[in-house]
Amino acid sequence: NNTNYPPADGILALRETVSQILKERYELDYSTTEILIAGGSRPLIYSTFVALVDPGDKVVFPAPSWNNNHYCHLTSAIGVAVETLPENNFMPTAAQLKPHLKGATLLALCSPLNPTGTMFKREQLEEICDAVLEENASRNADEKPLYIMYDQIYSLLTFGKEHFNPVTLRPELRDYVVFIDGISKCLAATGVRVGWGFGPASIISKMKAITGHVGAWSPKAEQVAVAAYFKNTPLVDGFLGDFKTRIRQSLDTLYSGFMELKAQGFKVDAVEPMGAIYLTLKIDYIGKTTPEGDLLKDSADVNFYLIRTAQVALVPFSAFGNEGNMPWFRASVGGCSHQDIVDMLPRIKAALEGLK
């Protein structure tokens, strides 16, 4: 009896479980009518855009970030990518965002951030929240407010850093924030499509209609299983503890390896891992020539050279909204073992030594 259609907003047992998760792990109070279950986070992000953004509306997001430019395209929004800086761990600041908020409908944020694995500090997010409140206070009653979409899908995968969210920091933003979350990353279960969004009931209701009409439900059997699993807090915490230890070991090894290469004079750098399954790497070899005489014209060329020569695949930040001449890359440790990382570091060194 768990193979038929689920309710459009998700089975009640799972929404009750999510409500309890939010209370216990985030000190957030959302009822079951303010929670929507879907087949992972992507339908929730899409339905947030469709529910809030009209064609021609302005959407502000940091670059690098995951797929916001594509969701702008799908909704005919005007996307404003705000390029972030390595000195801020590629997290956006209020000073960078504020000039673009006038007239915007949506500010898309994520922490821990895909692709960087970095996180907001309390002060950073507080300043952004205050900028949103200030912008909304300046608008007339007939103007749309500025909303925040806050993607925290990696929030249970942090390494000694505290996760912050807009509503806890500024409760008066509650009516203007839609959260994106789920199990795919924290439980290493990307093929188990269970995500949840939560926010104001009026917006969640519209999102429910959208996901229902496109058939983006999470499979009912998976919802039943997740509801039961998360009720066993010791089991969940035990898994998370072990998983985070192994992810942290892999990220730290890769980070240390690149910092050692930097100390040896290679034109590389890395940002200390904070959360998620990603490490931000700088490989500043655009313009160099391969042993075969090929010029590496951009970050994609550098990436394909490393694939061919070192059997290492990264993702250039150009895939996340930045220009191709930016020498920064995302490394994901989600699909490889710790030993894989140990073994690949000498291959990366040899590949870089071969460039002229």
Number of neighbouring beta carbons within 10 Å of residue 162: 9
Most distant CA pair in the chain: distance in Å? 64
**Full domain range(s) for residue 343:** 237-351
CATH number at residue 319: 3.90.1150.10
Q: Is residue 261, in this structure, part of any structural domain at all?
A: yes
CATH label of the domain that carries residue 108:
3.40.640.10
Q: In this structure, are 283 and 190 located in the same domain?
A: no
Residue 259 CA, chain-centre distance (Å), reads: 25
* 37 and 153 assigned to the same domain: yes
The answer to whether 60 and 38 are in contact (CB under 8 A) is: no
pLDDT, tens digit (0-9, with 9 covering 90-100), for 48-71:
999 999 999 999 999 999 999 999
Q: Is residue 51 part of a domain?
A: yes
Give the end of a domain, one of 212, 231, 250. Answer: 231
Claim to verify: residue 169 and residue 248 sit in the same structural domain: no
Please indicate, yes or no, whether residues 70 and 212 belong to a single structural domain of this protein: yes
pLDDT of amino acid 181: 97
> What pLDDT score was predicted for residue 1?
81
pTM of the model: 0.95
Position 189 scores a pLDDT of 87
**Which parts of the chain register pLDDT below 50?**
none
Tens digit of each residue's pLDDT (9 = 90 or more) over 118-156:
999 999 999 999 999 999 999 999 999 999 999 999 999
197 and 106 in a common domain: yes
Tell me what pLDDT residue 273 has.
Answer: 93
Domain end residue (candidates: 201, 231, 261): 231
Pairing state between β 147-151 and 268-271: unpaired
Structure tokens that stand for 164 in this block: 């912050």
Please tell me whether residues 118 and 189 are part of one structural domain.
Answer: yes
Angle, CA 193 vertex, CA 106 and CA 162 arms, to 5°? 60
If DSSP codes are grouped into helix, strand and coil, which group holds residue 316?
strand
At 314 the pLDDT is 97
Measure CA 276 to chain center: 8
Number of domains composing the chain: 2
DSSP designation for 238: H
Residues 6+ apart with CB under 8 A from 355: 285, 288, 289, 290, 291, 296, 305
Residues 33 and 174 in one domain: yes
Q: Do residues 218 and 252 both lie within one domain? A: no
Residue 185: the pLDDT is: 87
